[in-house]
Structure 1
């Protein structure tokens, strides 16, 4: 197994592959969580590569090799800027895959944990070329989550540097990637969800309601929802193994 640190455009990535796999192997773009970095998801890459995939792990804006000297409040206030930038950069990574000769006509999947799972759901509204997606601890309700986050910040006594018009513009932008209002874009798309029922960071219930609505509207043949009653905001080993096996099977 080979792990290469590369710069794709202005995006630092870890490129993980087996020297024996060909250029037409299935591809997975894997997105890390908030205040994490690309190398913290190498265990996912290990499993996926062992099952015949090529894996690209990018650093999100302000994370990993792109980190800046920001405290937790400062970076938290830029959460949605990071998410929206990552959605745009997933498109750039696909173009890099084509230019580098890795993406020919095989399947390509997207996956992520926490912020990466949230970003994955936004990408599904923007990119019809995603063949399958695994969302761990993600939520589709961008506007609902953003309002809850802002209320929490303000309750802690911090001032959010946005006036009413800027807030409206922000919510309008987020709404354009909010999968809860665009379920048709996820129809007939193989999707895997994992969520701990005791998650204190990304609430379980909104995601569960969304999945049930998606199943009711479009059927549940292509949707797997793995929930763990005692789990919080950390994917279990069982969840990680199930997600990687499911994703590799759906990209084969």
Structure 2
């Protein structure tokens, strides 16, 4: 796991899981069942735009799958600059959660995946997704959230305030679902499970305040405090840095061995 592989030692493959298009990376010479990372992209992104991150993770020994979310990539992308389309944000996350079991099942069935070493990771909207998938799937080994949120209600309040959205009946069903699935409302499902949160302290897109709130609430549930960590990067806006990727590799190496 700690031996870096050459570029020509990685296989990159376009696959479909049902109707879900995805890119799969894996070490070419791997013979054993592989530790596998499901990586979720952010709002307005796609699997292709995350290829370098998939390659980096695979280059240190992991199999990596990056699926396209609905409304993204090959799945009918929308105009992300149109503020009206912001209403699809939570629908996209909910759909990702609905599809996650199919992805996990297919990985184990067809792609040489070690069922006891599957981690989940995501950036921005993908970080919201990864947190929800991890919370509601106890078999997943580890979680890394980049510039996302494990406190969905709180983030939704911040989004609404920034966009000037008032309480309206049409959003009630969505908000009820947010509250039900929200990781911070399901802390007992996360007790003592490895979670790493990496976030810029000057993030103007997804405020770090929600991660601080989640960290404060969940920390008392951990016997081993090393298994839950929030790292903030000073003066960093909504970006993924080399340091974040290095921290992620170290975390997965520690908790997906």
Question: Hey, which bits of structure 1, 4+ residues long, moved more than 6 A?
Answer: none
SS of structure 1 residue aligned to 2:34: coil
8 Å contact from structure 1 (residues 131, 189) kept in 2: yes
1:181-200 pair list within 5 angstroms:
181-200=185-204
Alignment of 1:232 with 2:237, yes or no, is: yes
Alignment-derived partner of residue 15 in structure 1: 24
Alignment-derived partner of residue 251 in structure 2: 246
CA deviations on 1:208-239 (whole Å, 9 max, x unpaired) are: 12112211232412112221111110021111
1:104-143 pair list within 5 angstroms:
104-143=114-153
8 Å contact from structure 1 (residues 48, 245) kept in 2: no
Alignment-derived partner of residue 181 in structure 2: 177
Alignment of 1:42 with 2:47, yes or no, is: no
SS of structure 2 residue aligned to 1:33: coil
1:63-78 pair list within 5 angstroms:
63-72=72-81, 73-78=83-88
CA deviations on 1:84-122 (whole Å, 9 max, x unpaired) are: 001111111011113315235441000000001111111
List gaps (5 residues or longer) in structure 2.
1-9
8 Å contact from structure 2 (residues 124, 148) kept in 1: yes
8 Å contact from structure 1 (residues 44, 244) kept in 2: no
Q: How many residue pairs get matched?
A: 246
8 Å contact from structure 1 (residues 27, 107) kept in 2: yes
Q: What TM-score comes out, normalization by structure 1 length?
A: 0.90
Q: Whole-Å Cα distance in 2 between the matches of residues 214 and 6 of structure 1?
A: 37
Q: Whole-Å Cα distance in 2 between the matches of residues 236 and 133 of structure 1?
A: 18
Alignment of 1:146 with 2:156, yes or no, is: yes
Q: Whole-Å Cα distance in 2 between the matches of residues 150 and 203 of structure 1?
A: 13
8 Å contact from structure 2 (residues 116, 139) kept in 1: no
Alignment-derived partner of residue 207 in structure 1: 211
SS of structure 2 residue aligned to 1:140: coil
List gaps (5 residues or longer) in structure 1.
none
